[in-house]
Structure 1
Amino acid sequence: MNGISKILIVFTSLCLSSIVGFAQKSQNLSFELKNYSTSLPKYWFVGGKGFSYLLDSIEKHAGKYSLKMEKTGDLNGDFGVYTGTLPIETYAGKSVEYRGWVKTKGVKNGYAGLWLRVDGDNGATLGFDNMEDRGLKGDNNWTQVSIKMDVNKDAKNINFGGLFPGEGTVWFDDLELYIDGEKFVDIVEAAPKTSLSPSELAALKKYSYPLRTYEPDSGDTKDLKPLGKLIGSSKVVALGEVTHGSSEIFKMKNRIIQYLAVNKGFDMFSMEANMPESYKLNDYTVRGEGDPKKLIAGMYFWTWQTDEVLNMVEWMRRFNQPKQRITFTGFDMQFYAGAVNEILNAFKENKEIKDKIDSLKNQLDVVRSNAQKNSGMIVVDASAKKEINGMISFLKNSVEISSFKTAEKAWLQQNIVIIEQYLAMNNYSWRDECMADNFMWIKEQNPQSKFVIWAHNAHIMETNQMQGDHLAQKLKDDYVTFGFSFYDGSYTAVGKKGLTSYDAVKAYPGTLEYLLEQVQEPMFILDLKKAKSDKHKDIEWLLGKLEYRRTGAGGGNPIEFSEGKISEDFDYLIFIKTSSPSTLLPANR
């Protein structure tokens, strides 16, 4: 496999985060469906530095458009690519032929062609063809090319697309798929919904609760009273966020937390932040120990190092005087240092155990260093794993036979679990499973408490094997979710400009937010649970598949929307018309 093939495997694996994870209505094999936010083909990732991309309505093989790629720069090693994914249940164990029409103009120092890749467990390549030995070069009128491949029955992922490593101009169009010799018939997708009828708008308002403000201003809270009915007797309320840097969302969450703590007896707060480090922040909120800015920074991610989070922490400190009424915790496990320090501090007077902990930390440092060189993937060789496992077993036993109180032992054993979770972390689904387990541990230690969870929408959602999916299965009706969304604006994120403000893609026709904006309320709670239960004919559009905003900590991505069933993902949705950037604390400005 040459350099281009290796780059393609890595590149397309990274790109798929933009398109994988939602059910496609159509494969869009002829590029006729346009993504409103990018003006590129819907359901495809299109990219590669040094190239321009266009849905060409002039030069085409059939239909309205072809996909045009043109080399615009001279960066070595780059290539143009479009990438899609095929459903495993349809193609695994079958013979597949992938055809497409390609036109080229002045192609040199490379070629143009199709590509198809089949992956197995742990990303192992089970089949790969990128037409490297037969791609089109020079000038070619529309030419049909194809790839044939037997897809292994153990396939876990199938990607396909078009590839242009070279100079010149290429057009792709009129793709076809054959399964065991039979042509795949693509689904014809209806035009997106762009407006609500008067009856649909009236029905939507029936399930909506306008909100006075997002500011936690200690003012009138009558607009939050519906929360009592919506939450009912549930003891775990999860508050999401559609980006990790929207000021209005952070403030609204703070306002809701304050309301639930003051009026509904919610006494435990748990955040998408590393577990031991989060508990350190509780030393400040309860006893005033430490510098809150440094303790927030100690939770690693810039996302929490904002005025909005600091203001919430300072409110918790005031609320806990003269007696403790809310506890600050976290459930993430992406770092091991805090866990190691907890165990080290507990055994600092025992030289044998302290030496063992120091050795373990050295091994973990090596693992982390290797992971940083390996795109974040944790890989531990057999000999190191055996040595680390021996140290962990020693520490578990040391805790068990120690004279610590039961609660202290439980905490130390949980910190050892954090280390084990970190060592096994090689995908995001594992992280979500661990975060669910860690939250359940916190809940088991506090069986009489009521909890507010603070995390991204993607983690609290009740589908797709995310943290919320695991919690919903374990907690049933005791788990309630509030997703967040907005129509337009900006947010703090990391992107090509670094850590700063980025403009959001404005909601476009066919998206959930585009339709919700027609309610003409600056902010409101939408009762998805009741709408789903009632199944009123004028609300059917809300219960089906819709594109809705799914951003995160990254900025500048033109693809911020993807398809899902919002009524399956969350019980309630809080819509805020406009987002503005969260305010970073001085150290991050």
Structure 2
Amino acid sequence: MSSSYLLSWRGGLLAWLLLASLITRAQAYINLGLEPRANHGQPLALWAQTVPPGGRVVFDSTVFRQGRGSLRLELPTAAEPRAAYISTSLVPLDSTRGQLVTVSVWVRTQGWRGTIRLNASNTATTIAGLTSQSAFAIDSLPNADWHRLALQLPVRAVAYSFDITMQLRGSGRVWLDDMQLSVRGRPLPELPVPATAALLLPAAEVLTTNWDFERRLPRLGGAYSPGATVTLDSASPQHGRRYLRLVPASAPGQRAPAAYLGALRLIPNQGGQRLRVMGYWRRLISGPNMGPAPSFSYRLLSFIPRPDGGTWKADTLGTTSNLPTPGAQWTSFAFEVPLQGLFSRSTDPAHLGALALSVVLPTPGALELDNLTFALDGKPYVPTGPPTPPPPTAAEQAWLRTVLKPLRLATPATAGSDLAALGTLLGPARLVGLGEVTHGSKEVFSLNARISQYLIEQKGFSGLLLEASPAGCAALNNYLRTGQGDPARLLAALDGWHTPAVLALVRSLRTYQQAHPSTPLLVAGIEVRQPEQALAYLGQLVEAKDDFAQPRLRQLAQLLIDYRHPAAEELDVRQRPDQPRDSLLAPLRRLLGELASGFDTRAKLGQPTSLQLLARQRYYLRLVEQGATWRRLDLGSAENYRQACLAENAHYLSQQYGGKLLLWANNRSVAKFIAPEERPMGEWLRATLGPAYLALGMLLGQGSFAAQELTGRWAPASLAAVRPGSYEAWLRTGPAMSWLGLSKLELTEDNAWLFQSQLLHDIGYADAHNQYMLHSLRGEFDAVLFIRDSTPVPQLARP
């Protein structure tokens, strides 16, 4: 580590926190490949789109030419078809200026009537004014598999913009994928776009007020590749006590990285045509090897309100030139940004704008910045961030102390005095959803296991349903009933569930089952995403020499193997639920129907002798069909379909086995309501069972958890700090672990925050780029359990 990063022992821990280095956040990519997971789940962050009423633009993970998905546009039939547009601006232009550029995109159509137009244009400034050149290519095939649409466009050496637009006028479905730009037959690499880092931040973290660099830097992790190392230094500031030090990480000869500085809040009705940015910089190298001078890139952003809080979209991009070269001493600089384009859009103060600012770093050597200030039309402008929610009031905290019921982990479930009130809350419930904000918290596993043991052993519940593989859980259920097998080995087959708390729960339930043999317990899975496992288990329910069933099971297995790539026909379960032409589902459903009919007929003729076995065979036939259908749907429809299947499976098991059951799943699954466009499992169950279904949500305050990486490995991850105005900000003022009933609350001044949508940790299995989402606790859950401190759950070693 270089001496510039060493801290004096006199600074202590506080100085280390203030000066600790951070890697700059990556800029966004245009995403010409149209990948659904690009830019931290914001694949169209740098694309503008216009869609007529009744149309939609979605990413499709089941139909693609390359990568993991494509962009699907659906346009409705109309007497006078209106056009849909998606467009972007190519930046930077260095690799295209003065070149003959080929622009291409792969297109697929279904039931299409109309034209598809690929258009590219570039604009330059000449002594005669603005001049623009464009080229286009048109396609109108009604039903066609992937085919390439391409054009060629000469780009001026002085071009300052290069725009690409897809125009679709007509009705039907169109898929777009794998857009490319190439010069002399060689594809141009896609580079990060300067001044776009703000688009990758959670919306609430975009606006910056720390322009004098006196306060601690924000969290900037999650870069695609390191662009620069950024630190706060205090050796010799120009102003105040600290300044910003930026060291480029790229090697000489590589493209200069752009380090994101922040975003400046702008409000349209404040007026203003020009923003002046001023500050000081220095560069502690000199001589012939100092390289090009640093510069700034900026991008105007506009805020689009949405029910989940809104999002920022990119607008005009600009760069600076002819700034004074920084030397060894602090040197002032200034540049102006025209704002006409931003302020002409709206005068509504709710429609915020922002200026995202990055500094382009030359190599080699460090650049230091200090004391950025601003002027709007010649008048000083002091930027402000969004209003910060106030902390909970004394009255709100006092109210919480009267309603929060403390919980404990160390106490055995059999000594569950702290759980007695929670048991009373359940009332007539026959199916209770136990939520979890993440599947990687040790404390969540421990608390849910303790509650499960208490309700089964003390309150007459007879089983546990898991958001896990039904086939894997069937082996666990057999262990509970018979004691056959090693529970640690059986849990290893359930990825994410082989934890010490679950193992201890399973062993405890086995002991309870031995003491109460007349009351059989149930552990079952309801997940639909493993049709191969369901099919393999179904094979175990059929005799090996069954000449009727075994050949059909082998055909089903082959269909699922061949289904690694989607069929040519697109699935539309809303319009054609039977799907007679679907190359996967039609033969799969035929085989499943033959098996179901055969099993039923043989059962009624005396084979097999157990109707219970027939019910299990039917259940696993349904699981295979659910899993196969789920895979054929686009991302949005697939999750809604999965949630409906989870509810169907939970309800079936509840009816089949009777008794009261617990349902352990993610918060978003057990919730009674999420959003109008999402229908979780809990909403289906509440509509079916009424008050006999109860939803308990789980909240976490701070600490860490285990997150599942793309490789399947579980690794520690940090919980985002509790934000002001989040539900956790109120609940953490009470006991370290507690629960709160929500269904019978009456609105008062002291609990009004519970009657509003607030931020809430929302994670799941993997670490989330934005761990907070807007939720409505009272609408989603009947009660919530809160754990202030979380640690990563350890996974058991696989036998």
- Give the TM-score normalised by the residue count of structure 2: 0.54
Q: Secondary structure at the match of 1:203?
A: helix
Within the candidate set 36, 55, 59, 1:10 is matched to 36
2:622 partner letter:
V
CA distance in 1, matches of 2:398, 2:82: 49
Within the candidate set 181, 204, 207, 2:400 is matched to 204
Q: Secondary structure at the match of 1:416?
A: helix
Q: How does 1:438-449 map to 2 (within 5 A)?
A: 438-447=649-658, 449=659
Offset from partner CA, 1:375-412 (integer Å, 9 cap, x none): xxx99984454433332122111110122332221111
Within the candidate set 596, 608, 620, 1:396 is matched to 596
8 Å Cα contact 1:235/1:450 also seen in 2: yes
1:471 partner letter:
L
Q: Assess, with a 3 A threshold, how the Cα gap between structure 1 residues 355 and 481 changes in structure 2: closer, same or farther.
A: closer
Q: Secondary structure at the match of 2:33?
A: helix
8 Å Cα contact 2:474/2:524 also seen in 1: yes
Q: Secondary structure at the match of 1:477?
A: helix
Q: Secondary structure at the match of 2:465?
A: strand
Q: Is 2:460 aligned against 1:265?
A: yes
CA distance in 2, matches of 1:535, 1:333: 40
User: How well do the aligned residues superpose, as a CA RMSD in angstroms?
Assistant: 4.7
8 Å Cα contact 1:103/1:172 also seen in 2: no
Q: Is 2:449 aligned against 1:286?
A: no
Q: How does 1:43-58 map to 2 (within 5 A)?
A: none
1:545 partner letter:
S
Q: Which moved more, 1:263-272 or 1:331-340?
A: 331-340
CA distance in 2, matches of 1:482, 1:317: 25
Q: Is 2:771 aligned against 1:560?
A: yes
**Once the 2 structures are TM-superposed, how far is the Cα of residue 542 of structure 1 from its aligned partner?**
1.6
Within the candidate set 587, 592, 609, 1:387 is matched to 587
CA distance in 2, matches of 1:451, 1:513: 29
**Once the 2 structures are TM-superposed, how far is the Cα of residue 580 of structure 1 from its aligned partner?**
0.7
CA distance in 2, matches of 1:12, 1:209: 43
**Once the 2 structures are TM-superposed, how far is the Cα of residue 522 of structure 1 from its aligned partner?**
0.4
Q: Assess, with a 3 A threshold, how the Cα gap between structure 1 residues 152 and 457 changes in structure 2: closer, same or farther.
A: farther
Q: Assess, with a 3 A threshold, how the Cα gap between structure 1 residues 11 and 233 changes in structure 2: closer, same or farther.
A: closer
Offset from partner CA, 1:23-44 (integer Å, 9 cap, x none): xxxxxxxxxxxxxxxxxxxxxx
Q: Assess, with a 3 A threshold, how the Cα gap between structure 1 residues 544 and 156 changes in structure 2: closer, same or farther.
A: farther
Alignment-derived partner of residue 419 in structure 2: 224
CA distance in 2, matches of 1:361, 1:312: 36
2:748 partner letter:
H
Alignment-derived partner of residue 350 in structure 2: 187
Q: Assess, with a 3 A threshold, how the Cα gap between structure 1 residues 156 and 506 changes in structure 2: closer, same or farther.
A: farther
Point out the structure with the larger helix share: 1
Alignment-derived partner of residue 730 in structure 2: 515
Q: How does 1:334-483 map to 2 (within 5 A)?
A: 334-348=529-543, 350-370=545-565, 382-402=582-602, 403=606, 404=608, 405-426=610-631, 427-447=638-658, 449-463=659-673, 464-483=678-697
Alignment-derived partner of residue 210 in structure 2: none
The count of corresponding residues between Structure 1 and Structure 2 is: 491
**Once the 2 structures are TM-superposed, how far is the Cα of residue 423 of structure 1 from its aligned partner?**
1.1
Q: Is 2:365 aligned against 1:172?
A: no
Q: Which has the higher contact order (CA 8 A, sep 6+)?
A: 1
Is the radius of gyration larger for structure 1 or structure 2?
2
Alignment-derived partner of residue 161 in structure 1: none
8 Å Cα contact 1:293/1:305 also seen in 2: yes
Q: Secondary structure at the match of 2:481?
A: helix
Offset from partner CA, 1:72-104 (integer Å, 9 cap, x none): xxxxx99xxxxxxxxx9xxxx98899999x998
Q: Is 2:747 aligned against 1:535?
A: yes
CA distance in 1, matches of 2:44, 2:776: 17
Q: Secondary structure at the match of 1:8?
A: coil
Q: Is 2:509 aligned against 1:316?
A: yes
8 Å Cα contact 1:484/1:575 also seen in 2: yes
Q: Which moved more, 1:286-295 or 1:452-461?
A: 286-295
**Once the 2 structures are TM-superposed, how far is the Cα of residue 481 of structure 1 from its aligned partner?**
1.0
Q: Assess, with a 3 A threshold, how the Cα gap between structure 1 residues 193 and 98 changes in structure 2: closer, same or farther.
A: farther
Q: Secondary structure at the match of 1:194?
A: coil
**Once the 2 structures are TM-superposed, how far is the Cα of residue 298 of structure 1 from its aligned partner?**
2.5
**Once the 2 structures are TM-superposed, how far is the Cα of residue 474 of structure 1 from its aligned partner?**
0.7
1:460 partner letter:
V
1:389 partner letter:
R
Q: Secondary structure at the match of 2:477?
A: helix
CA distance in 2, matches of 1:524, 1:18: 41
Query: Structure 2 stretches of 5 or more lacking a match?
Result: 1-28, 46-65, 68-75, 98-107, 125-154, 176-188, 196-297, 305-340, 353-385, 568-572, 574-578, 632-637
Q: Is 2:236 aligned against 1:236?
A: no
1:407 partner letter:
Q
CA distance in 2, matches of 1:525, 1:129: 57
8 Å Cα contact 1:246/1:581 also seen in 2: yes
Alignment-derived partner of residue 714 in structure 2: 499
2:611 partner letter:
T
Q: How does 1:51-130 map to 2 (within 5 A)?
A: 107-109=93-95
Q: Secondary structure at the match of 2:694?
A: strand
Offset from partner CA, 1:431-454 (integer Å, 9 cap, x none): 11111101111011123x001111
**Once the 2 structures are TM-superposed, how far is the Cα of residue 425 of structure 1 from its aligned partner?**
0.6
Offset from partner CA, 1:303-362 (integer Å, 9 cap, x none): 101112111111111111133443211211211234323432333154422432342343
**Once the 2 structures are TM-superposed, how far is the Cα of residue 220 of structure 1 from its aligned partner?**
3.5
Alignment-derived partner of residue 762 in structure 2: 550
Within the candidate set 507, 519, 525, 2:739 is matched to 525
CA distance in 1, matches of 2:627, 2:123: 43
8 Å Cα contact 1:240/1:457 also seen in 2: yes
Q: Secondary structure at the match of 2:514?
A: coil
Q: Secondary structure at the match of 1:270?
A: strand
Alignment-derived partner of residue 47 in structure 1: none
Q: Is 2:500 aligned against 1:307?
A: yes
Q: Secondary structure at the match of 1:538?
A: coil
8 Å Cα contact 1:363/1:388 also seen in 2: no
Alignment-derived partner of residue 37 in structure 1: none
Q: Assess, with a 3 A threshold, how the Cα gap between structure 1 residues 394 and 524 changes in structure 2: closer, same or farther.
A: same
CA distance in 2, matches of 1:549, 1:354: 47
Q: Is 2:781 aligned against 1:581?
A: no
- Identity score, percent: 20
Alignment-derived partner of residue 178 in structure 2: none
Alignment-derived partner of residue 67 in structure 1: none
